[in-house]
A and B are shown apart, each in its own frame.
Chain A
Amino acid sequence: MENKIKFVQGNEACVEGALYAGVDFYAGYPITPSTEIAEVLSQRLPQAGGKFIQMEDEIASMCAIIGASLTGHKVMTATSGPGFSLKQEAIGYACMAEIPCVIANVQRGGPSTGNPTHVSQGDINQARWGTHGDHAIIALTASNHQDVFEMTIDAFNLAETYRTPVILLLDEAIGHMREKLEIPAAGEIELVERLRTSVPKGVDYRPYLPREDGRLPMSDFGGEHRYNVTGLYHDMWGFPSASPQVVNELLRHLVDKIDINIEKITRYKEYFLDDAEYILVSYGSSARSAIHLAKNRREKGEKIGVLELQSIWPFPHDLVREKCSRAKSVVVVEMNLGQVMAQVKASVDNPEKVFLANRIDGKLITPSDIKRLLRVIQGRGI
């Protein structure tokens, strides 16, 4: 089979990635600017024998995909700001019960209803801390449609590997822009399938007993192992427990399973970083402007590089410190009041060299916006 070339919206690239990864269950509630993901999947999923359901709200959608994941399906939902807020309690449930699922959040302006048809990157912190309690989370992002496609596949792979919700943080500009997408033939990109238990029927199956490599083999609901799934602290059989030892071990397991694998989870791209004196750290649609500016200034002889983060959580502190260690200044380019900048400052040895080039007015940040800030930092006037 040959590669297929399409001209699509970012939201459609996300759908293509999800289908490539093998999604076969989607539950959602329409919300701008993510709606096309639901619309296209409502058409495409049943064509492949999968299921699409439009639920009564975002909460129900998140709950439904968790239920479907337990029967052994690859599941996803998609939403935007207010819907993402509504999903948080059930995302916490998926963290606690270790249910693989993918949540695409095509970001819009906020808080509240905000700016539905305009771009923003304001949900970085919500992706990390939106649900209550301590837990780990994986959040990915992308700045072009080929990457949206690949990051979506990656999101499914990581969800199945680590038994965790994975959040795909797109933004309105990426979601609605049209661009070329090349879809590789089946088999070209590796897919991770869920690890299923090899415990035979009738033998004690402990759904929350990790193997030596940390992975938890699952058993499909409706299969031969009947077990309990709960959002309460639970023992290795899945039954509620308030034992201090059980609680302590479970919570540490939930956090550690992501934290110790940060290098395997981290995704990034770099442009002209080797000798860069000024480094732009960016992601999503903002990264396009950063990359454009860096290429442009390189032609003028300025040593500007870009570190594009494709995984935001767990935040790659070591990577950022290492990459930015020799830079005179680091400029974080994002469309919020500095959510990733705070993480970059926490990563580098000299936080005072970190600056923020941002826009929060619903308009894309442009290369000129970044250039103006850079000139000030470089002492070249406004």
Chain B
Amino acid sequence: MAVQDYIRQRFFPHMWCPGCGHGIVLNSLLRAVEQLELDKNDIVMTSGIGCSARISGYVDFHSLHTIHGRALAFATGVKLSKPELTLLVPMGDGDALAIGGNHFIHAARRNIDMTAIVMNNRIYGMTGGQFSPLSGCGIKATTAPYTTIDNDFNVVDLAAAAGATFVARSTVYHAKESTELLKNAIQHKGFSVVEILSQCPTHFGRKNKGGDAAAMMENYKNITAPVGSKTLEENPELLGRGIFVQKERPEYCQEYDKIIEVAMKGASK
């Protein structure tokens, strides 16, 4: 199936600002779905609120555009009630880790089989440029006119510590690499997290002298290096790209099936 068959073409052009990285995330994700030859009827995309969340309207899957921060909670209900479905849960950084932080760590703890994609542009774009829990210190935002003093999360460390069994990071500069990581994540049986750095030239870049979209993407090339590479080893201040965690642990829905088996035996006695 061609990539455009996975989108709702009538809603294009999309509403993201010129230069936004989110369209590239969408592209990487669709390529992953295409290469895995997934059936559209088997995919449910659940999103929250924000620029990132509008992604679910553009894909021709079952799509659930929920309330701010709760995409993973809705997705948990969908997945547990119908485990044969493939759950894709793209979220913005504020969506996933501020208001949705609780759901993020608990979905990871349960190891429920879904793919969480953190589209990290370090800013609240839709509301006009307020800082997010991934902005980090020293960042200018409409709610941090004197720069932020809030520390950020390391999404990879947080996801791994909370129990996610697949954790990866990439950037929109590395779109093909993102596709490979997303394919791995979707195929992984358990809770997968893929953080993709995605530029917001409109709100983050402009205030923080990040340059235009191309410059911001170029920056992703310069501040990251592949996991296991010599470059990363020699420059620990760089951000790693690639797979950080990939391990087997009992998956939640499968474990629940065992509960049903035990309960039904007990009930028939």
Contact = CB atoms under 8 A, between A and B. Distances in A.
Interface residues of A, number: 43
B73 A63 contact: yes
Given A43-B263, A228-B57, A64 B65 contact: no
Interface stretch (A49-57, A134-142, A323-331): A49-57
B222 to A, nearest CB: 37
A64 B264 contact: no
Contact of B81 (A46, A68, A227, A230): A68
A357 to B, nearest CB: 40
A27 interface: yes
Contacts of B147: none
B56 A228 contact: yes
A64 B41 contact: no
Given A73-B81, A227-B62, A229-B65, A67 B76 contact: yes
A230 B102 CA distance: 22
B57 A59 contact: no
B44 interface: yes
B245 interface: no
Contact of A71 (B40, B81, B259): B81
Contacts of B76: 27, 53, 55, 60, 63-64, 67
A89 interface: yes
Contact of B64 (A65, A223, A229, A240): A229
Nearest to B85: A222
Given A46-B260, A49-B264, A60-B73, A71 B102 contact: no
Contacts of A224: 41
B74 A64 contact: yes
A59 B70 contact: yes
Interface string B51-68: 000001100111111110
A133 to B, nearest CB: 13
A47 B264 contact: yes
A56 B103 contact: yes
A223 B41 contact: yes
Contacts of A46: 256, 259-260, 262-264
Interface residues of B, number: 40
B267 interface: yes
A75 B102 CA distance: 23
B236 interface: no
Nearest to B54: A240
B59 to A, nearest CB: 9
A130 interface: no
Interface in B173-200: none
Interface string A338-353: 0000000000000000
A71 B82 contact: yes
Interface string B235-267: 000000000000000000000100110111011
B263 A47 contact: yes
* Interface SS, B side: helix
B112 to A, nearest CB: 9
B111 interface: no
A68 B263 contact: no
* Interface SS, A side: mixed
Interface in A221-240: 221-224, 226-232, 239-240
Contacts of B256: 46, 51, 53
Interface in A1-60: 25, 27, 43, 46-49, 51, 53, 55-57, 59-60
A127 interface: no
A66 B64 CA distance: 10
A67 B62 contact: no
A29 to B, nearest CB: 11
A156 to B, nearest CB: 16
A63 B66 contact: yes
A240 B57 contact: yes
A44 to B, nearest CB: 8
A208 interface: no
A291 interface: no
A166 interface: no
B78 A231 contact: no
A67 B87 CA distance: 11
Given A60-B102, A222-B42, A230 B78 contact: no
Given A55-B73, A56-B102, A71 B78 contact: yes
A315 interface: no
A307 B102 CA distance: 45
B67 A231 contact: yes
A49 B259 CA distance: 9
A73 B65 CA distance: 19
Contacts of A227: 62-63
Contact of B77 (A27, A48, A223): A27
Contacts of B73: 55, 59-61, 63-64, 67
B81 A239 contact: no
B75 interface: yes
A222 B62 contact: yes
4 closest A-B pairs by beta carbon, nearest first, are A67-B77, A64-B77, A46-B263, A63-B73
Given A221-B85, A226-B60, 9 more contacts: A55-B76, A60-B106, A63-B74, A64-B73, A67-B46, A67-B75, A228-B65, A232-B65, A240-B65
19 contacts: A46-B263, A48-B267, A57-B102, A60-B70, A60-B102, A63-B70, A64-B76, A67-B76, A67-B78, A67-B79, A68-B77, A72-B82, A221-B82, A222-B84, A226-B41, A226-B62, A231-B66, A231-B67, A240-B57
